[in-house]
Amino acid sequence: MSSSKNDDPISEKILNVAKKNPKGISDKDILAAVPELSAAELVSAINKLLQEGLFDLYNQGGSLIYRLKGQSSKQAVKGADNEEKVVYNLIEDAGNKGIWIRDIRLRSNIANTQLTKVLKNLESKKVIKAVKCVNASKKKVYMLYNLEPDRSISGGAWYQDQDFESEFVDILNRQCLRFLQQRADKIKNNPKGPVVGRTQSFASAVEVQKYITDLGISNVKLEVEDVITILNTLVYDGKAESNVLSDGSKVYRAIESLIPPPGLVQVPCGVCPLILKCCSTGLITPQDCKYMDDWLEN
Amino acid sequence: MSHQLGRVVSEILHQYFGEIVQKVGHDLFIYGSKPIPMIVKTTGLPRKQVVESLRSLVKFDLASFEPSFNEVVADYKLNPDNVLLLIRYPRYLLQIKTKFGSEAEILVEELLQQASCTASVLLVTVAAKYKDDKEKNITLVKLRDIFISIATARYIQQAPVADKSEVPSLEPVATIVPDIDIRQLAQAMATDTLADVNDNIYWKVNFDRFHQDFRDDIMVKAITRRIDENAGELMHLLLQQMYLTSAEWAAESNPTPALDLRDAVHRTDRPDCDRKLLQQYMDHYLRVLEENGAGFVVRVGEAGGGQYVVRGRHAATQLLLAALDHTVTERLGSKAARIFRLIRTKKYIEEDDIQKHAMLPNKECKELTYKLLEEHFISIQPMRKAASSGAMAKAVYLYHIKLHDVAQSLREMCYRALHNTLRRGQHTRAAHARLLDKQRRVRSIVHSMRVRGEPQQHIDDHTRAAHARLLDKQRRVRSIVHSMRVRGEPQQHIDDHTRAAHARLLDKQRRVRSIVHSMRVRGEPQQHIDDVEETLTPPELSTLKDVEARLKQLSAAQLALDKNLFILNWYFMYPH
């Protein structure tokens, strides 16, 4: 075991803590276990452990998490030949982003036919899996079997088997707008003054996310970022505006367009697909325009 | 000076001044400025008619002149922008009526008809016109007061004065609010001659002042939509303060201190705003106006409780963008509008990124983007990589919006639409023109009968006879239309006939109305009036209503288009 080689008592203690928490430990946990440790010592100790490849580093909710490298995955390739080991390591390094078969071939220097055989082998052992990429439907990437594909590969909540779910997005878009509109009127003639009214008419992404979750229209768990994406489409629709509060968080408010529909779109010419072909004489003229007939009929 | 503008201008001139002026106006529009002999040559009209047309054009400020190379000959030039204003006249009247009451409306209407006129002539003509109207109770004194107040408010101004050279040039003069001697005018009215009144100051309507009102109105309404009525009122007060310190159309006004604004808020008496709330929370309102008011107002300093600037140019751009958004939404759907806005927010963006941010399926997104490109709402900027980067070099295509160009094409579209509605209205009216002659004949007969004092019975007989003829003819038209339909003739022929039938009906209605009116005036028994009114049968009435509604809808559309053009022209007023 690597810990036995390590005679440094600090590393020893850290490793012990990490073993007790298979889900990973943060800086705080370490400090709690080894209170006498200074920050500089901690950093050097952890760097050392990382260098030895004992720890995996993760970013969870803004703080770093150290996790003892699992031994089980290593065992999965037991009994495998050298090629399989090489390929497995490459795929493991790629993490949840996956790796393209071409890149594996380039890096491992294994011939194409052999590589496919190796990959098939690993796949049948359920050690790795092939995932189709959302951006390029032909491109397959490989990753470890137990990993959840990254957003850039799976497309996140908006994709179902590589298909973009526009109806789902539309429904969410409408629901978010409804939520914002319920609050929008608070700014009008608010007896407590417009600043209070405005604050009441704002909604943060977290609030919107809670509302959407409570509605229960989504089977998929929506993250705050997903809701922000939806809220941004509302901003692009011109139905909402976003402000940044003093603490840096973004808030949204439903708004109306500055002007009612202008004159151009009130006449059929404004929406006429033939407007560029309309002349004083010829086949398309305002005198016997069918669209205008219909419009004047109502 | 586009082709579309030429078409609109020509159509407007035709509607308001007739065919000859239209011909001259269009000729001037195409060739720029030219002297009379050249106009005679290209239009093929007699010199007298050309001169007369030019006279009316110059009178209404639709054309201008300047000495040509040879200094005794004048070159004439059309002012297309002023021609477009002819459509806006109803709005001017409405505006002055809401601000100064119906007497002011009558004054401005008369002045618009006269183009330019001295104060005494104007007042006496209006007073004489409404002498017998007991309801309105218009007196010279009242008219004089109104005249002075609208002159003070600069809704009318002194017309420019010609100098003494061979081809006079018009020099604008400063407007001085006049002192009108009411006794002299009363005397002139009594003697029915204006020869004694020595008044050589001519007045005309100051369109620019009205346009400022329109602009203020748009801005206040926009803020009201965005925030609330109180904020709208605050915007209104800010604009009023701006007039005191800056040029009317300044891109950015001079700063207004919040203290001045507070005084103004205390004095305001607008019914639609909650004054107490506004007074109490004025600072809050200013802050919200600055942060959420689409950038119409910005804070520039702290002196005097905060200095605020009204950004006219920015407001015009914002309103233009709002109009563009509406247009894109209506033409290509709300998804396209989303892409349009997205590109605007990101300035330059690649196709892949559009898809990612707009949250649209790949195919639909591409399709809409290309449609936007096809209709010239967005532009594309290819960025080629240097050849040295090898085979991997792929050009990047960046989408972006050239606002000035898009605004131009929107204006062209407005011109087209305006032309089409005008043309359509004129077409409907032209179909009626054939029967106007007949109507005039019937009217003159009725009139002469009345003058000769013939008994009412005869008059009624006559109208009935005329109606009978009309009804007969209508029946014939209907049968013709029917047989055409049976024979499967093209729709256009049938339409022509239906229009002709409408014309007759409209005519008839007008005639019946005038007869009824004259009967009422003479105090005829109700029985007779009913008789005449009943000659219009219910189906005829409904058809008439339909035709009238169509013409009304067309003119309403023209006004709406004019409002749209106003925003566009406001945007183009500032250099970009």
Q: How many other C-beta atoms are found inside a 10 Å radius of the C-beta of residue A197?
A: 23
Specify the CATH class of A163-254 in words: mainly alpha
Is A288 close to B567, i.e. CB distance below 8 A?
no
Residues 84-113 of A with CB under 8 A from B: none
What is d(CA B495, CA B493) in angstroms, rounded to the nearest whole number? 5
Check residue B489 and give its pLDDT: 42
Give which of A133, A239, A256, A258 to mutate to test B binding, by max B Cβ within 10 Å. A258
Is A189 close to B274, i.e. CB distance below 8 A?
yes
Check residue B273 and give its pLDDT: 62
Check if A166 contacts B (Cβ < 8 Å).
Answer: yes
Q: What's the CATH number for A2-70?
A: 1.10.10.10
Residues 180-219 of A with CB under 8 A from B: 187-189, 191, 193-196, 198
What is d(CA A133, CA A136) in angstroms, rounded to the nearest whole number? 6
Check if A286 contacts B (Cβ < 8 Å).
Answer: yes
Question: Does B545 or B427 have the greater pLDDT score?
Answer: B427
Check if B14 contacts A (Cβ < 8 Å).
Answer: no
Indicate whether B495 pLDDT > 50.
no
pTM score, whole prediction: 0.74
Indicate whether B494 pLDDT > 70.
no
State the Rg of chain A over Cα: 29
How big is the CA angle at B9 (ends B573 and A292), to the nearest 5 degrees? 105
Choice among A9-23, B31-45, B47-61 with the minimum mean pLDDT = A9-23
Check if B146 contacts A (Cβ < 8 Å).
Answer: no
Token pair for B98: 């809401």
Which of B314, B258, B229, B323 is CA-nearest to residue B564? B323
The residues, ordered by sequence, that sit 6+ positions from B29 with a Cβ below 8 Å of its Cβ are B1, B5, B6, B9, B10, B78, B80
Check if B405 contacts A (Cβ < 8 Å).
Answer: no
Give which of A189, A199, A234, A264 to mutate to test B binding, by max B Cβ within 10 Å. A264
What burial letters (b/e) apply to B178-198, b meaning 16+ CB within 10 Å?
bebeeeebeebbeeeebeebe
Beta-sheet strand order (sheet of A128-132): A99-100, A140-144, A128-132
Q: How far is A111 from chain B (nearest CA, A)?
A: 25
Check if B326 contacts A (Cβ < 8 Å).
Answer: yes
Question: Does A89 or B524 have the greater pLDDT score?
Answer: A89
Check if A38 contacts B (Cβ < 8 Å).
Answer: no
Q: What's the CATH number for B212-310?
A: 1.10.10.10
The residues, ordered by sequence, that sit 6+ positions from B127 with a Cβ below 8 Å of its Cβ are B138, B139, B140, B143, B185, B189
Check residue B212 and give its pLDDT: 92
- pLDDT band for B47, please (50, 70, 90 cuts): very high
| CATH match for A73-154 among 1.10.10.10, 2.40.30.10, 1.10.40.60, 1.10.630.10 | 1.10.10.10
Indicate whether B326 pLDDT > 80.
yes
Instruction: Say whether B315-401 and B3-81 share the same fold.
Output: yes
Average pLDDT of span B435-446: 51
Is A261 close to B357, i.e. CB distance below 8 A?
no
Q: How far is A278 from chain B (nearest CA, A)?
A: 9
Check if A151 contacts B (Cβ < 8 Å).
Answer: no
Indicate whether B193 pLDDT > 80.
no
% helix / strand / coil in chain B, to the nearest 5?
70, 10, 25
Per-residue pLDDT tens over the stretch B449-461: 554 455 555 556 6
Average pLDDT of span B263-270: 77
What is d(CA A134, CA A5) in angstroms, rounded to the nearest whole number? 45
Which of B214, B223, B216, B344 is CA-nearest to residue B290? B223
Report the SS3 class of residue A66: strand
Q: What is the DSSP string of B434-499?
A: HHHHHHHHHHHHHHHHHHTT--HHHHHHHHHHHHHHHHHHHHHHHHHHHHHHHHT--HHHHHHHHH
- In chain A, residues under CATH classification 1.10.10.10 are 2-70, 73-154, 163-254
Check residue B369 and give its pLDDT: 92
Check if B413 contacts A (Cβ < 8 Å).
Answer: yes
State the Rg of chain B over Cα: 30
What is d(CA B230, CA B295) in angstroms, rounded to the nearest whole number? 17
Check residue A113 and give its pLDDT: 85
Indicate whether B364 pLDDT > 60.
yes
The residues, ordered by sequence, that sit 6+ positions from B285 with a Cβ below 8 Å of its Cβ are A193, A194, B227, B230, B231, B234, B278
Check residue B49 and give its pLDDT: 92
Give the DSSP H/E element, type plus range, for residue B298: strand B297-301
Which of B229, B341, B333 is CA-nearest to residue A242? B341
The share of chain B scoring above pLDDT 90, in percent, equals: 19
- Residue B518 identity (one-letter amino acid): S
Q: Where are the alpha helices (DSSP H) in A24-165?
A: 27-33, 39-51, 72-76, 82-94, 101-108, 112-124, 151-154
Is B359 close to A262, i.e. CB distance below 8 A?
no
The share of chain B scoring above pLDDT 70, in percent, equals: 77
| Whole-Å CA distances, A115 to A88, A120, A130, A146 | 11, 8, 14, 21
| CB-closest option in B277, B331, B553 to A271 | B331
Token pair for B93: 């009247």
Per-residue pLDDT tens over the stretch B92-150: 999 999 988 888 888 899 888 888 888 888 888 888 888 776 666 777 888 888 888 88
Tokens 């796949």, residue? A123
Task: Evaluate the CA torsion angle B314, B318, B323, B329 in order and state its sign.
Answer: positive
| CATH match for B315-401 among 2.170.150.20, 3.30.70.100, 1.10.640.10, 1.10.10.10 | 1.10.10.10
Is B361 close to A166, i.e. CB distance below 8 A?
yes
Check residue B116 and give its pLDDT: 86
Is B288 close to A198, i.e. CB distance below 8 A?
yes
- pLDDT band for B24, please (50, 70, 90 cuts): very high
Query: For chain B, what is the mean pLDDT?
Result: 79
Is A189 close to B229, i.e. CB distance below 8 A?
yes
Per-residue pLDDT tens over the stretch A76-125: 555 667 777 778 888 887 777 778 888 888 887 888 888 888 888 888 88
Is B416 close to A243, i.e. CB distance below 8 A?
no
Task: Evaluate the CA torsion angle A190, A194, A195, A199 in order and state its sign.
Answer: positive
Orientation of helix B229-245 relative to helix B207-226, angle to 10°: 150
Check residue B530 and give its pLDDT: 53
Check if B438 contacts A (Cβ < 8 Å).
Answer: no
What is d(CA B380, CA B400) in angstroms, rounded to the nearest whole number? 6
Indicate whether B218 pLDDT > 80.
yes
Check residue A247 and give its pLDDT: 78
- pLDDT band for B499, please (50, 70, 90 cuts): low
Q: How many residues does chain B have?
A: 576
What is d(CA B49, CA B14) in angstroms, rounded to the nearest whole number? 15
- pLDDT band for B199, please (50, 70, 90 cuts): confident
Give which of B224, B326, B426 to mutate to test A binding, by max A Cβ within 10 Å. B326
Q: Which residues in chain B touch residue A278, judged by CB atoms under 8 angstroms apart?
A: 416, 420
Check residue B211 and give its pLDDT: 92
Per-residue pLDDT tens over the stretch B277-296: 777 888 888 888 888 878 88
A100 close to A108: Cβ distance less than 8 angstroms? no
| CB-closest option in A194, A262, A269 to B281 | A194
Strands B170-171 and B161-162: antiparallel
Q: Where are the alpha helices (DSSP H) in A21-76?
A: 27-33, 39-51, 72-76
Domain boundaries, chain B: 3-81, 101-205, 212-310, 315-401, 410-562
Question: Does B262 or B496 have the greater pLDDT score?
Answer: B262
Q: Which residues in chain A touch residue B491, judged by CB atoms under 8 angstroms apart?
A: 288
Q: What is the DSSP string of A181-240?
A: HHHHGGGTT-TT-HHHHHHHH-EEHHHHHHHHHHHT--SSPPPHHHHHHHHHHHHHTTSE
Indicate whether B329 pLDDT > 80.
yes
Indicate whether B485 pLDDT > 50.
no
Check if A264 contacts B (Cβ < 8 Å).
Answer: yes
Orientation of helix A82-94 relative to helix A101-108, angle to 10°: 130
Is A288 close to B495, i.e. CB distance below 8 A?
yes
Report the SS3 class of residue B118: strand
What is d(CA A199, CA A298) in angstroms, rounded to the nearest whole number? 44
Is A238 close to B341, i.e. CB distance below 8 A?
yes
Check if B420 contacts A (Cβ < 8 Å).
Answer: yes
DSSP collapsed to 3 states, A147-171: CCCCHHHHCHHHEECCEECHHHHHH
Q: Which residues in chain B touch residue A171, judged by CB atoms under 8 angstroms apart?
A: none
The most confident of the ranges A118-122, B19-23, B191-195, B297-301 is B19-23
Kindly indicate whether the domain formed by B101-205 is annotated with CATH number 1.10.10: yes
Check residue B444 and give its pLDDT: 56
A197 close to A187: Cβ distance less than 8 angstroms? yes
B205 close to B175: Cβ distance less than 8 angstroms? no
Architecture of the CATH domain B3-81: Orthogonal Bundle (1.10)
Check residue B490 and give its pLDDT: 43
Is A258 close to B337, i.e. CB distance below 8 A?
no
| Whole-Å CA distances, A156 to A59, A77, A226, A228, B532 | 18, 30, 8, 13, 77
Indicate whether B487 pLDDT > 50.
no
Q: How many other C-beta atoms are found inside a 10 Å radius of the C-beta of residue B456?
A: 15
Average pLDDT of span B214-234: 88
How big is the CA angle at A175 (ends A173 and A177), to the nearest 5 degrees? 70
Check residue B134 and give its pLDDT: 65
Per-residue pLDDT tens over the stretch B377-389: 999 888 877 666 6
The per-residue pLDDT string of chain A (298 residues; one tens digit each, 9 = 90 and over) reads: 444 444 567 777 777 777 777 677 777 777 777 777 777 877 887 777 777 666 767 677 677 777 776 554 454 555 667 777 778 888 887 777 778 888 888 887 888 888 888 888 888 887 787 777 766 666 777 888 777 777 666 666 677 666 777 888 888 888 888 888 888 777 777 777 777 888 788 888 888 888 888 887 777 777 788 888 888 888 888 888 888 877 778 888 888 888 888 888 888 888 888 888 888 888 888 888 888 888 888 7
Nearest CA in chain A to B223: A258
Token pair for B485: 């339909």
Q: How far is B7 from chain A (nearest CA, A)?
A: 9
Choice among A42-46, B13-17, B226-230 with the minimum mean pLDDT = A42-46
Give which of B280, B564, B566, B567 to mutate to test A binding, by max A Cβ within 10 Å. B564
- pLDDT band for B529, please (50, 70, 90 cuts): very low
Check residue A79 and give its pLDDT: 61
Give which of A195, A259, A284, A288 to mutate to test B binding, by max B Cβ within 10 Å. A259
- pLDDT band for B351, please (50, 70, 90 cuts): confident
Check residue B424 and give its pLDDT: 87
Give which of A233, A236, A244, A295 to mutate to test B binding, by max B Cβ within 10 Å. A236
Choice among A208-217, B59-68, B219-228, B561-570 with the minimum mean pLDDT = A208-217
What is d(CA A65, CA A29) in angstroms, rounded to the nearest whole number? 10
Question: Does A82 or B491 have the greater pLDDT score?
Answer: A82
Nearest CA in chain B to A237: B338
Q: How far is A249 from chain B (nearest CA, A)?
A: 16
Is B225 close to A256, i.e. CB distance below 8 A?
yes
Which of B283, B289, B171, B176 is CA-nearest to residue B229? B289
Q: How many residues does chain A have?
A: 298
